[in-house]
């Protein structure tokens, strides 16, 4: 956009107004965090720019169209239309900004679709504030509307002088892809989302950096009535009777696997490595010899099942002990995910330092924001690697990321460390750097990550970092890497869980049925730390874990497993589509289906309250 063009002036004005809102927001809410410094103000404005740019671009869509028509149609009423539009924009900007700023001190979260829950009972919504407070808020909205309106009036006066020459029309048309890119949030894999502005372990600063208008309209476009989905049973008593014995949070005399309760912990979340890829789970393709060796010589949970079918769900299950939702990703819904428990948060409270590593775009599916919410102090992603280290469109290869983690761990730490890494190489397009052990590119990508894990463990031993370290290897889900599989195939749900490192007492093979979401309570139980706030995570080594179960949800199917067998339900028809029995008594398929429905309903009711 040319510096003197009306589009540029309108964009620049809108962007400036959004940027200036941030220090005003922070000044009004200064009591929330008195430690905020001048550098924090600057950081908030800087990190909030991407969403400010996106929201400013949204406001230009209609002016762009009106200006184009004005260039093509003589005597088009551009001035009154632009003035009317920006009068509305001024009012909306002022209303959203004031409401977000003053309500944050009450709610401690950004203005979102929640506000519309109170529109039917305004008296109750405003019962806790004085008439003077409401009057001052209305006065502030009117004053800001006037200021915004005057500024836009001056700029729109320039806009109506736009040229109708052919070169001006062509130049104006070329602005369309630029607007699209700004609205999308750039050329990367991730599109504009709330956590694009997240940068700090301090949630207040993250919230301050988020554009209030973007947050409101984003939440409106992504809202979902969880309380009305998958409602199978009319009474809580009926659900609770079906759930009896499945979920509890106690760690009663747990089986001890570790030599210490404060090891350094390295959690490797292996992209897509389920039973259709891992040799230790029965896969014959020979892609994971090092994982297979670790499973044989370490602690191997051989009957672990993934909770869901995508990385965004799998990470929530692993790090928050949550179950997968078929119709929503809590990672993408920052207003809900920030209320979830977090392994990293619990370990930080116990004195651990916490880091999350990912070689790709951490803004994808709001991953970076979720990690900060989960309790990670630092996140590392593709932006922390050089251009030469970025291997393909997904980012830096696993070997590159592991070497950086190893270098980071070589710096002595006075505190125990909890580092989580999400691998990336065993994912489409299945390309890996200079590694060709297997002919099949899919198998070879898993073999590459397997080799990288081996190299990392060998290096930890060689550098004296092994003895007090617990390495956990757990996939996020299974991958549809070969024909004949669907997300309801058991081979994609069945995943390995391996605990290795010098902190392990002795090799074990544990065949207890469990979910990946049980890692949270099981790990914290081994560390003698509380896990009461993980309601769907069980300590599978506890003496009280007497009814082992597992559940898996995809977009279309729900699977429940217990000692009597496996039942798979089609969610659209609510019919059992497959069932296997493991006992000689009468089939238990219907009872398993009822239990699965009770779990799913409970999960959605819980999500509706978050």
Contact in structure between 409 and 402 (CB atoms under 8 Å): no
d(CA 396, CA 360): 6
Query: Would you state the pLDDT for residue 441?
Result: 94
Query: Would you state the pLDDT for residue 180?
Result: 87
Claim to verify: residue 102 and residue 196 sit in the same structural domain: yes
Is the residue at 603 inside a domain?
Answer: no
Claim to verify: residue 193 and residue 285 sit in the same structural domain: no
Domain boundary among 171, 197, 222: 222
Query: Would you state the pLDDT for residue 160?
Result: 58
Domain boundary among 173, 200, 222: 222
Is the residue at 567 inside a domain?
Answer: no
d(CA 14, CA 76): 24
Claim to verify: residue 321 and residue 464 sit in the same structural domain: yes
Is the residue at 592 inside a domain?
Answer: no
Is the residue at 161 inside a domain?
Answer: yes
Domain boundary among 170, 201, 222: 222
d(CA 342, CA 320): 5
Claim to verify: residue 208 and residue 307 sit in the same structural domain: no
Query: Would you state the pLDDT for residue 363?
Result: 84
d(CA 426, CA 447): 8
Claim to verify: residue 200 and residue 290 sit in the same structural domain: no
Query: Would you state the pLDDT for residue 114?
Result: 60
Instruction: Give me the average pLDDT of each 10-residue run along the chain (610 residues).
Output: 66 90 93 91 94 90 83 80 87 90 79 61 55 85 88 71 66 81 78 82 87 86 82 94 90 92 98 94 94 97 96 96 91 87 97 97 87 95 94 93 97 96 94 94 96 98 97 93 74 96 97 98 96 96 95 92 93 86 77 96 92
For 593-604, the pLDDT digits (tens) are 999 999 999 999
Mention every residue, 6+ apart, whose C-beta is less than 8 A from residue 251.
521, 524, 525, 531, 539, 541, 542
Claim to verify: residue 88 and residue 205 sit in the same structural domain: yes
Query: Would you state the pLDDT for residue 73?
Result: 80
What is the C-alpha end-to-end distance of the chain, expressed in Å? 43
DSSP string, 406-474: HHHHTS--SS-EEEEEE--SSSTT---SS--SSSSHHHHHHHHHHHHHHHHHHHHHHTT-STTEEEEEE
Q: What is the CATH number of the domain that holds 366?
A: 3.40.720.10
Claim to verify: residue 430 and residue 488 sit in the same structural domain: yes
Claim to verify: residue 34 and residue 181 sit in the same structural domain: yes
Is the residue at 230 inside a domain?
Answer: no
Domains held by the chain: number: 2
d(CA 409, CA 266): 10
For 130-160, the pLDDT digits (tens) are 788 888 888 988 998 888 888 887 777 665 5
Is the residue at 17 inside a domain?
Answer: yes
Query: Would you state the pLDDT for residue 132?
Result: 83
Query: Would you state the pLDDT for residue 197?
Result: 86
Is the residue at 273 inside a domain?
Answer: yes
Q: Which whole-number Å values give the CA distances from 306 to 317, 331, 334, 361, 598, in the listed order? A: 8, 17, 23, 24, 19
Is the residue at 383 inside a domain?
Answer: yes
| Residue of 363, 373, 366 whose CA lies nearest to 200 | 373
Query: Would you state the pLDDT for residue 7?
Result: 76
Claim to verify: residue 324 and residue 402 sit in the same structural domain: yes
Structural domain range at position 140: 6-222
Query: Would you state the pLDDT for residue 112?
Result: 76
Claim to verify: residue 338 and residue 192 sit in the same structural domain: no
Beta carbons within 10 angstroms of residue 330's beta carbon: 26
Tokens of 343: 């392994």
Claim to verify: residue 490 and residue 361 sit in the same structural domain: yes
| Helices 236-243 & 589-608 angle (0-180, nearest 10) | 120
Three-state DSSP class for residue 483: coil
Claim to verify: residue 383 and residue 272 sit in the same structural domain: yes
């Amino acid at each position: 956009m040319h510096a003197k063009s009306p589009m540029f002036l309108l964009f620049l004005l809108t962007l400036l107004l959004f940027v200036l809102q941030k220090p005003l927001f922070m000044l009004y809410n200064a009591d929330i965090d008195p430690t905020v410094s001048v550098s924090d103000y600057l950081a908030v404005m800087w990190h909030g720019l991407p969403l400010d740019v996106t929201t400013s671009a949204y406001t230009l869509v209609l002016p762009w169209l009106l200006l184009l028509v004005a260039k093509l149609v003589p005597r088009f009423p551009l001035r009154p239309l632009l003035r009317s539009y920006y009068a509305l924009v001024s009012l909306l900007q002022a209303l959203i900004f004031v409401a977000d700023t003053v309500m944050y001190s009450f709610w401690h979260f950004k203005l979102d679709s929640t506000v519309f829950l109170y529109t039917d009972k305004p008296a109750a919504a405003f019962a806790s504030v004085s008439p003077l407070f409401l009057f001052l808020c209305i006065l502030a909205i009117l004053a800001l509307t006037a200021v915004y309106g005057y500024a836009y009036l001056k700029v729109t006066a320039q806009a109506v002088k736009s040229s109708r020459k052919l070169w001006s029309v062509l130049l104006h048309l070329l602005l369309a892809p630029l607007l699209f890119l700004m609205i999308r949030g750039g050329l990367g894999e991730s599109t504009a989302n709330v956590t694009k502005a997240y940068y700090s372990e301090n949630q207040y600063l993250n919230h301050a950096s988020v554009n209030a208008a973007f947050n409101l309209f984003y939440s409106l476009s992504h809202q979902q009535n969880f309380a009305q989905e998958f409602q199978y049973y009319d009474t809580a008593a009926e659900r609770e009777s079906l759930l009896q014995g499945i979920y509890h949070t106690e760690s009663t005399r747990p089986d001890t696997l570790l030599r210490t309760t404060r090891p350094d912990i390295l959690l490797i979340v292996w992209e897509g490595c389920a039973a259709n890829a891992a040799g230790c789970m029965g896969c014959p393709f020979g892609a994971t010899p090092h994982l297979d060796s670790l499973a044989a010589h370490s602690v191997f949970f051989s009957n672990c099942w993934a909770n869901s079918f995508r990385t965004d769900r799998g990470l929530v299950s692993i790090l928050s002990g949550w179950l997968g939702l078929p119709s929503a990703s809590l990672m993408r819904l920052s207003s809900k995910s920030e209320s979830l428990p977090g392994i990293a948060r619990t370990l930080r409270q116990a004195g651990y330092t916490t880091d999350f590593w990912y070689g790709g775009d951490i803004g994808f599916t709001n991953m970076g924001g979720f990690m900060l919410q989960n309790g990670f102090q630092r996140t590392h992603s593709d932006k922390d690697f050089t251009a030469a280290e970025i291997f393909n469109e997904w980012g830096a290869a696993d070997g590159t990321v592991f070497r950086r983690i190893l270098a980071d761990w070589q710096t002595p730490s006075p505190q125990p460390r909890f580092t989580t890494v999400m691998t990336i190489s065993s994912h489409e397009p299945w390309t890996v750097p200079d590694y060709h052990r297997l002919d099949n590119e899919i198998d070879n990508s898993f073999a590459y990550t397997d080799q990288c894990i081996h190299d990392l463990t060998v290096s930890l031993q060689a550098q004296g970092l092994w003895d007090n370290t617990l390495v956990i290897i757990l996939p996020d889900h299974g991958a549809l890497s070969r024909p004949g599989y669907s997300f309801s195939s058991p081979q994609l749900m069945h995943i390995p869980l391996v605990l290795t490192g010098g902190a392990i007492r002795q090799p074990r093979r544990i065949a207890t049925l469990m979910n990946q979401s049980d890692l949270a309570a099981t790990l914290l139980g081994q560390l003698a730390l509380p896990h009461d706030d993980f309601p769907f995570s069980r300590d599978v080594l506890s003496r009280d874990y007497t009814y082992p179960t597992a559940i898996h949800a995809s977009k279309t199917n729900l699977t429940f497993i217990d000692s009597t067998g496996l039942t798979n339900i089609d969610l659209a028809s609510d019919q059992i589509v497959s069932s296997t029995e493991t006992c000689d008594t009468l089939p238990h398929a219907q009872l398993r289906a009822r239990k699965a429905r009770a779990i799913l309903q409970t999960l959605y009711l819980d999500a509706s309250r978050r």
